[in-house]
Structure 1
């Protein structure tokens, strides 16, 4: 698990949260799971890629998605 990973989890009061592992606050809150999943993918892509883990209403993991890095406006200059 990396700091770029995000979990899409149900919120007690309704709706869905996008959370980083171990975070006390949500990165985003949406009305639907689909909106939360899209937002999580966007956050992970902008952070350099990682995993989006999608949980069901029961809180159990139901799917996961690997997101490649997005277009970096400042790519590394070194050529190894």
Structure 2
């Protein structure tokens, strides 16, 4: 969407997926207004490519094992 900022407020538990989502042009910033969540992240180099990059969506998907962290209200990741 060019040089714009897009935001979304989620009030329910996030959908758990089996694959990591990677981007090349954009990145996500998460700020926790309330509650907590366990997130998992990893370097693309340490994962296995499952779905090739699509320029239209700026997404690619990977499988593998990452590092988990619990994030809480007021944190930015």
Q: TM-score, normalising length from structure 2?
A: 0.37
With normalisation by structure 1, the TM-score equals 0.36
More helix by share: 1
Relative contact order, higher structure (CA 8 A, sep 6+): 2
